[in-house]
Amino acid sequence: MKKTVHVVAAVIENESGDYLCALRSPTMTLPDVWEFPGGKIEPNESKEEALVREIKEELGCTIAVGAPVEDTTYEYDKVIVRLETFRCRIVEGVPKKTEHAELRWVSREHLASLHWAPADVPAIERLME
């Protein structure tokens, strides 16, 4: 039986209405695909706490977590991922790539032009509605 991993991701929107997209590095699992930044929820941690911690670790900035966007379960070859995405905004700092190969602000109209991780696709579809 495959392990299920519960992760959260931040759909960070800037003042221009663009979204922060992160390209997974060649050394990560699922290399060279785009995702919304985030990570695993630790024991005794709320989804919001996990998201604030992960973004601080990955991007070096502080976010405020808002409304949910999508809750998706996707079965990959070796693991089942439950991904919950939330609308977020940056309240302190500027995103810096520490784990990802690239960070890019992308307009809503151009989100579909990126090659996304499969678990992120339903959130993209929701944002484009």
Q: What is the pLDDT of residues 61-120, one digit of tens each?
A: 999 999 999 999 999 998 999 999 999 999 999 999 999 999 999 999 999 999 999 999
Domain with residue 64: its CATH number is 3.90.79.10
Structure token digits, residue 14: 């800037």
- SS3 for 58? helix
What spatial distance separates the first Cα and last Cα of the chain, rounded to whole Å?
Answer: 35
The DSSP symbol for 45 reads -
Q: What is the mean pLDDT of residues 26-31?
A: 89
Structure token digits, residue 49: 């706490």
CB atoms within 10 A of CB 6: 14
How many distinct structural domains can be found in the chain? 1
Confidence band, pLDDT 50/70/90 cuts, at residue 28? confident
Q: What's residue 45's pLDDT?
A: 96
Q: What is the mean pLDDT of residues 22-45?
A: 94
pTM summary value: 0.94
What range defines the domain where residue 50 resides? Answer: 3-128
| H or E element, residue 20 | strand 19-23
Q: What's residue 95's pLDDT?
A: 97
| H or E element, residue 62 | strand 62-75
Q: What is the mean pLDDT of residues 6-18?
A: 97
- SS3 for 51? helix
105 vs 21, 83, 86, 110, CA distance in Å? 6, 21, 17, 10
Q: Which residues on adjacent β-strands are paired with residue 9?
A: 38, 85
1 has a pLDDT exceeding 90? no
